[in-house]
Amino acid sequence: MQARGVLAAVVFGAPLVGLSMPLAPIPTTPEAASDFVHFESSHVHPLALTPDGTRLLVVNTPDGRLSVFDVTGSAPIRVAEIPVGLEPVSVAARNNGEAWVINALSDDASVVDLQTMNVRATLPVGDEPADVVFAGVGGAAYVSVSREDVVKVYNPSDLAASPVVIPIPGRMPRALARTGDGAQVLVDVFHSSAEATVLSAAEAGDSLPPLDPALGAGLPAPPKTGLLIKRSNGHWTDASGHLWDSKVPYSVPAVEVVSIATVTNTVTATAGGMASTLMGLAIDPVTDAVAVTGTYAAMEIQLEPNIRGRMTAQRAAILRSAQPPAVVALNPHINYSSVPGPSADADSALGMPTGVCWAADGTRVYATSMATNRIGVIEPAGLGSIVARVPTVAGPTGVIADPVRPRLYVLGRHHEQLQTLSTADLSSLAVSAIGFDPTPDAIVNGRKFFYGGFTSGHGDQSCASCHLFGDVDDFAWNLGDPVGSMSPVPPGMIDPLLMPAHPVKGPMMTQSLRGLGGTGLLHWRGDRANLTAFNAAFVSLMGRATALADSEMTALADFVLPLAYPPNPNRRLDRSLADAPPGQPSAKRGETFFKTVAVFARPPFTGARCVTCHAFPAGTNGQFVDGGAIGGPQDMKIPHLRNLHTKVGFRDSTGVVNKRGMAFTHDGSVDNLFEFLRSANFDFGSPGAIADEKRRDVESFLLAFDTGLAPAIGAQVTFDGGGQDAARRARLDTLVQQAAVGACDLIAKGRVGSMPRGWHHRGGVWEPDRVAEASLSTDGLLGLATVGHELTVTGVPVGSGQRAGVDRDRDGFLDADELDAGTDPGDPGSSPLTAVGADASSPPGILVLRPSPFAERTTIEYALSRSGPAAMVVFDLSGRRVRNLVHDERAVPGRHAVTWDGRGITGLAVSPGIYFVRLTADGHTWRRTLVRLR
């Protein structure tokens, strides 16, 4: 539970006192959560008001729901929670009766009927959508699809019509906003190029700039490395000012905000020079001025001793018509030449500005600071300035101003809280729980160490500054240390030519923190054994005075290690690979080549297949390869392959206009995988064009490399009983097949009458969220779907079907049974056991399992309504009997309990995994899922 706290704010230089208030209770989250996968999707516009100002819409990202609050009273009151897709990150109200929710993992938009409080349609939009806004003729829906670098325009009145696709000349379009007249839609670009690129070691040659500081005594000469350069005053220059124009035949413009004319649906203007990572975007409702927030990566400052404590600058920018952007430094009080800074730096710091909004009258801009649990108040007139820093709930990611009432609403990501602030004095008026948060406690507790500015020397930066939301910033950083130490060859390596790693290493691409488990040593050169080994970087790189305590590093690791990749969009829904006729790239043929053909041409790995080094499932065997074997100046760890599809978009060719200036390999200097595969180190065994066809096949396979999660996870389909359902049935059949082979769990959500209902597909049938109801066939389930009572089927991660489908709060009571009893299915502290009169009239069946999941033993409470035979048996996933728990021919009515010690019929402990407990009594059968952790 969240402890009571005191909120204090400093507004316009004057302290506010007397703001002590209780924080809203947060539902308890069980420690164990084998039913939860950690994606940490980033919020974009997680809050929205309906046009009439009566309702506030809030995404509950970890629980896959939209919470609806009535804001007409003195404080917001939650009136509905609507299941949507997986990882919702944005919401927008089309009108008072309809909202669209953008689901990043499900790759779709949930069209929500705010009268029935149900999803009426699901619209697939493309890989990792980010935001939606309504503008233009007929109020068209503009959806940013980040991984496809496009904005798609849909007709809300005809969702079956093909969208207009608008290419965006920037990497990962993110937040959207519209002008007051709807004539323009603005989109910011998450990954700006920052007008930076990397030259390979061969291109840089012997002209690398001198080291500053100079090389330490006793160190050997550093290796030849690539070179990070930036565009400045019309020229490509390195850190010493040396010109490199002749080596760069392409351009990499800084595209950060893009303007779309809604009449023509074309890009009409772009702006840059504001930040390298763009996050928040909002438009002044009075003047149509634009506010953006983000961070600037200081890559021009190279080498660890120089960039210590100043890797990113926190920025906002105000854009007005026909004027250059006015860039606002969010931390003008920080002197970055003093590291670590005084406590006053952190006391006022703003960092990770994910969200932004304008005051209703346009006189203020409010920017969230996820790193420091604050909102920065910006005076936008002139060049802009920070006039206040206001404490908020933990991890603020979204903020919106109420145009009717003098309020701000803030979403706190760390604990899924909604805070209401007064715009009169910025005092806190209320804090409410958004809804149930299924995130395990360890991840919740570790989140503050990942985002927290207190882990840096000035209070404004954190691990998340470069590892954005657990992933990457798309940049190569030169963080070598000329006065550092050589790193020894890691133990257990089989390449006899490996050498100790030099502390001067050249530019290295930021690596994702997703899926670290089972990949071996960390960093490109394996100079970190594990996450704990990064503790020193909080001092040497982040500028902190001291390293984190061991317990804090453990908490950080608890947050990072479960991070997972989303499914690869280049695989089909059934997880298969695309094939093609000879002469066209075939991922399927590429996989066969990858697994079976000897391709490596250099010792000591001569004759090795691709899979020899890039072993499944992650694409690495954890070994290291000497530089000579890979045609480079340094030894490298064999990298994993699960995110290669996210690195495309750079071409090292004359005249090309690029969205990014770096792509593949450790320094990003290789523009595509085909060229990488043409290295002399690889022997494709055929002459010319035939070998190139094989390379194209392998490239296609690499771009579709399995991330470890099936494409069925997140996939959705909505049924309404209409003529389109036959076509939708084919998609459902594929999802059912994927569930049958263990690629996903499958759930369904909808409304029966006025009640929200859920089902979990298991054993070929749909088990309902009410114990007394019979399971349904697929035909029986779909027969419930009608207009106004639509049903949405969703593929969810394996193990999460029970929670996501029928027992939301994991308390052992099914959701509909809780609603029948008048208790809250989203609060484990509220159940039929706690309801008035529960002990006197407990419904028959299995009531609760405690704990669930369990490690050593669990107690199963059940109730019988009449005398007679009763039997309780534990089964495994294959339906085999594991243990008889109850066999009573003369069972008496009332409440009972039995404990299972995790042992089978033989007396030996059963393996960790999923089991089922079945109670048979009075001619009825009740079932529950059991999860044993160890």
Closest CA to 270 of 282, 261, 280, 283: 261
Closest CA to 119 of 791, 806, 803: 791
pLDDT at residue 604, rounded to an integer: 77
pLDDT at residue 922, rounded to an integer: 78
Q: Give per-residue pLDDT as tens, 377-425.
A: 999 987 789 999 999 999 999 999 999 999 999 999 999 999 999 999 9
Q: Give per-residue pLDDT as tens, 306-364.
A: 999 999 999 999 999 878 899 999 999 999 999 999 999 999 999 999 999 999 999 99
Closest CA to 860 of 898, 895, 825, 887: 898
pLDDT at residue 32, rounded to an integer: 40
Tokens (6 digits) for 651:
């071409």
pLDDT at residue 134, rounded to an integer: 98
Q: Residue 340, preceding bond cis, omega within 30 degrees?
A: yes
**Largest CA-CA distance found in the chain, in angstroms, rounded:** 91
- The mean pLDDT of the chain is 92
Please say whether the beta carbons of 84 and 91 come within 8 A.
no
Q: Which residues pair with 920 in a beta bridge?
A: 871, 925
Please say whether the beta carbons of 444 and 26 come within 8 A.
no
What is the number of helices (H) and of strands (E) in the chain?
Answer: 14, 51
pLDDT at residue 932, rounded to an integer: 85
pLDDT at residue 811, rounded to an integer: 86
Tokens (6 digits) for 205:
């040659």
| CA separation for the pair 264, 277 (Å, rounded) | 28
| CA separation for the pair 29, 635 (Å, rounded) | 44
What is the pLDDT averaged over residues 727-752?
A: 97
| CA separation for the pair 275, 723 (Å, rounded) | 48
Q: Is 90 exceeded by the pLDDT of residue 18?
A: no
Strands 150-154 and 140-145: antiparallel
Q: Give per-residue pLDDT as tens, 252-299.
A: 999 999 999 999 999 999 999 999 999 999 999 999 999 999 999 999
C-alpha 177: how far from chain center = 22
Residue carrying the six token digits 């002399």: 680
| CA separation for the pair 187, 183 (Å, rounded) | 14
Tokens (6 digits) for 838:
């529960």
Residue 95: strand, helix, or coil: strand
What is the pLDDT averaged over residues 140-151?
A: 98
Residue carrying the six token digits 């450790």: 666
pLDDT band at 652 (very low <50, low <70, confident <90, very high): very high
Q: Is 90 exceeded by the pLDDT of residue 106?
A: yes
pLDDT at residue 8, rounded to an integer: 26
Q: Phi first, then psi: what are they for 702, rounded to 5°?
A: -60, -35
pLDDT band at 839 (very low <50, low <70, confident <90, very high): very low
Q: How many Cα atoms sit within 13 Å of 278 on the Cβ side?
A: 33
Q: Which segment, 46-50, 602-606, 877-881, 927-931, is predicted with the most confidence on average? A: 46-50
pLDDT band at 834 (very low <50, low <70, confident <90, very high): low
Please count the other Cβ atoms lying within 10 Å of the Cβ belonging to residue 243: 12
Q: Give per-residue pLDDT as tens, 871-928.
A: 999 988 777 889 999 998 888 888 888 999 999 988 899 988 888 898 988 777 788 8
pLDDT at residue 688, rounded to an integer: 83
Please say whether the beta carbons of 225 and 269 come within 8 A.
no
Query: H or E segment at 332?
Result: none
Q: Phi-psi category of 863—alpha, beta or left, where left has phi over 0 and alpha has psi -120 to 50?
A: beta
Poorest-confidence range of 31-40, 615-624, 715-724? 31-40
What is the pLDDT averaged over residues 192-196?
A: 96
Please say whether the beta carbons of 401 and 31 come within 8 A.
no
Helices (H), 435-586: 441-451, 537-540, 550-560
Q: Is 60 exceeded by the pLDDT of residue 609?
A: yes
Closest CA to 501 of 524, 529, 525, 481: 525
More confident residue, 845 or 563: 563
Tokens (6 digits) for 557:
């690791």
Query: H or E segment at 238?
Result: none
pLDDT at residue 15, rounded to an integer: 27
Q: Is 90 exceeded by the pLDDT of residue 176?
A: yes
Q: How many Cα atoms sit within 13 Å of 881 on the Cβ side?
A: 8
pLDDT at residue 835, rounded to an integer: 58
pLDDT band at 842 (very low <50, low <70, confident <90, very high): low
Cβ contacts of 741 within 8 Å, gap of 6 or more: none
Q: Is 80 exceeded by the pLDDT of residue 53?
A: yes
Please say whether the beta carbons of 359 and 377 come within 8 A.
no
Residue carrying the six token digits 């926190």: 314
Between the alpha carbon of residue 473 and those of residues 199, 294, 478, 481, the distances in Å are 19, 12, 14, 21
Cβ contacts of 554 within 8 Å, gap of 6 or more: none
Tokens (6 digits) for 49:
């008001």
Tokens (6 digits) for 415:
């604990």
Tokens (6 digits) for 491:
């133990």
Q: Is 80 exceeded by the pLDDT of residue 859?
A: yes
